């Protein structure tokens, strides 16, 4: 099963506000990103996601992170969001999102959680927090997972260590604080986005 975007790097814009989201997303798209996650614990996330879908929905896979309940999945679907990212393995959330035709990247840490997520219909997995487990753990976990399932490293991924997780078998990564921190400038976002894209290309050429 292939991931639905050209670049398997998910931009996590935790803490972004509706007033600034368009400029940062535009910058990320120009850098080559085409998967945008706005966590539900961001200010006025509904407005940010709704506005982003309207403006960029034809150019990127856009959705929410920190999705914890089926009701939140329905709220996201009503906004036009297509991507559901969870921090945990909650089958009810995954099943609802799949039933609504959304792409689910489910958070997991163990083999049991990973297989529970896949049984519920998740199309991709995120190992979270990846930096705490390390690439060797992910490589070992990948050995028992279906090879066609995309696995993303999330949590502590930097341009400097991205290649280690790709070498361990991850198709890509979710990028949080090293790509975007609440309140940072668009220039900083552009700088970090370019660094991540460069690191990805160097590791996969």
Q: Which residues are catalytic?
A: 37, 126
Number of H helices, E strands in the chain: 9, 8
Which are the contacts of 2, defined by CB distance < 8 A and separation ≥ 6?
A: 150
CB-side neighbour CA atoms (13 Å) of 47: 10
Helix, strand, coil proportions of the chain in percent (round to 5)? 45, 15, 40
């Amino acid at each position: 099963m292939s991931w639905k975007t050209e670049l398997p790097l998910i931009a996590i814009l935790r803490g972004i506000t509706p007033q600034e989201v368009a400029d940062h997303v535009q910058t990320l798209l120009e850098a080559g990103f085409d998967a945008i996650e706005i966590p539900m614990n961001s200010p006025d996330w509904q407005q940010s996601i709704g506005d982003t879908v309207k403006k960029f929905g034809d150019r990127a896979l856009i959705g929410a992170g920190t999705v914890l309940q089926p009701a939140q999945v329905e709220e996201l679907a009503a906004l036009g969001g297509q991507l559901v990212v969870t921090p945990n393995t909650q089958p009810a959330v995954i099943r609802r999102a799949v039933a609504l035709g959304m792409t689910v990247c489910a958070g997991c840490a163990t083999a049991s959680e990973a297989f529970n997520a896949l049984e519920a219909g998740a199309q991709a997995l995120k190992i979270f927090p990846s930096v705490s487990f390390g690439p060797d753990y992910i490589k070992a976990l990948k050995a028992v997972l279906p090879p066609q399932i995309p696995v993303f490293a999330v949590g502590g991924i930097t341009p400097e260590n991205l290649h280690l997780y790709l070498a361990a078998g991850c198709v890509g990564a979710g990028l949080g604080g090293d790509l975007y921190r609440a309140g940072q400038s668009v220039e900083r976002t552009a700088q970090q986005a370019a660094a991540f894209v460069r690191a990805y290309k160097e590791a996969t050429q």
